Amino acid sequence: MTLFIRLALLFAFSFGAGSLAAQERSSLLPDIPAASGEPHAEGNEYWRRNHMDLMKHDRDSTLRDGDREIAASLKGCFDCHAAKDDAGQVVTYESEQHFCRACHDYVAVKVDCFMCHRSTPDGVDEHALQAAILPKKPLDSTDVQGVIAYLNQTESKPTEAGE
Amino acid sequence: MKIPTLKGADISRRDFLRSGAAVATATLAPGVTLMAFGGSEAHAAADADKRWGLLIDANKCDADCDACVSACSKENGWAGEGNPETDPQWIRKITMQNTSTGREVTMPMMCQHCEEPPCVDVCPTGASFKRVDGIVLVDKHTCIGCRYCMMACPFDARSFVHEPVINQKSHAPRGQGTVESCTLCVHRIDKGGRPACVEACEATGHEAIIFGDLRDPESDISKRLAQYPSVALRPDLDLNPGVRYTNL
Ligand code: SF4
Ligand code: SF4
């Protein structure tokens, strides 16, 4: 609870920090990537405080009851919150520049959402984006050295599954 | 409840427990209470008056065709990586031969969407569940990857995801450490559509798979079931699957 209150306060103070370039920052608060689209009618504070409950509620109605007309979904988030890197390329959750990581990294909260859900809008080729940062799988399972190297790499990836 | 677009999500747990109106409770045993919540049904697409099913005609299924399998793989974003032991299989083609006559038939196999699903019975977390319209799914948010359901399923219909996954379809999330199987393309059904395999089979001209509501006596599938002989696989188990076969 205290964590969330502290978080909310931090966000309140950090409003507008997102427009500053990293080197010009006057604080250590998270640098929230700019969004496209209409602002939230309920305000950013509301969504910062409640997004997890909203999404959890709606995921259950979608999965269990088949309600597809929901307000809070990850797909919906990425309609507007598809953060881009310096080259203008949409980034996946593997990248520190991903929208969700701006705050979750800051408070050292690891979310599991992207073990199953895509972390970019539909149509983006995540394989191409991640080919450079994900460990290469050995093609031949009898290649023992290759398999060991792959397992070591997988282990050292902080957002990789199975830790 | 002030912000209509956020449907129910702004109800805090305390408010929720305080408002008895939409909650029906039944006491099962001292200290054990069953609660049923009203409210979201009005928006839900899963309709308890329907039971979705498939009717597969093995005579019309072409041994050399795998349009249903590739359509499923494309629609739901799963693919083999050349490891038959661990590759996911939401649907596969199987060949059966009558040993005395030599007659061979091929047909697609997938989750049979059992009315009495053993996978749901054995699931320790409640992740395996059956929707009110008969579609059996895995809630990957609660699946712990124990694979009891895979052992319980008589049709080998489920797969365990062994590798990290990216680039999923947004309508078909899937990830390492969870179990998955045919969803009957629930995301399409909820929007009034049909499963991808059914459309793909129809597009080839074979029309070996029919999709429809088994509860509606006027549906194409119910009429055919009423008119022609059909079987449930493993009828000895009394699972009453939603997937039926003819001309086996
Ligand atoms: S076919 Fe297997 S996975 Fe599908 S409902 Fe029946 S027991 Fe469960
Ligand atoms: S693997 Fe997942 S869905 Fe299957 S029985 Fe275990 S928890 Fe349930």
Query: Locate tokens 């079987």: which residue?
Result: B231
- Written as one letter, the residue type at B94 is I
A34-91 pLDDT per residue, tens: 899 899 999 999 999 999 999 999 999 999 999 998 889 999 999 999 999 888 889 9
Interval B127-185: pLDDT, tens: 999 999 999 999 999 999 999 999 999 999 999 999 889 999 999 999 999 999 999 99
Q: What is the pTM for the complete model shown?
A: 0.79
Q: Is A125 on the interface with B (CB under 8 A)?
A: yes
ipTM value, please give it.
0.79
CA angle B214, B219, B221 (to 5 degrees): 60
CA nearest ligand 2 atom 4, residue? B149
Tell which one of B51, B54, B113, B238 to mutate to probe ligand 1, the residue whose CB is within 8 A of the most ligand atoms.
B113
Residues pairing with B25 in the sheet = B35
Tokens of B5: 């677009």
pLDDT reading at B39 higher than 80: no
Q: Is the pLDDT of residue A104 over 80?
A: yes
On the question of pLDDT at B41 being above 50, the answer is no
CB-nearest to B173 from A116, A130, A162 is A116
Residue range B74-104, pLDDT digits in tens: 999 999 888 888 999 999 999 999 999 999 9
Which class is domain B52-246?
alpha beta
d(CA B91, CA B24): 39
More confident site: A12 or B175:
B175
Give the Cα separation of B51 and B113 in Å (integer): 10
What are the boundaries of each domain within chain B?
Answer: 2-42, 52-246
Q: How far A74 CA lies from chain B's nearest CA (Å)? A: 8
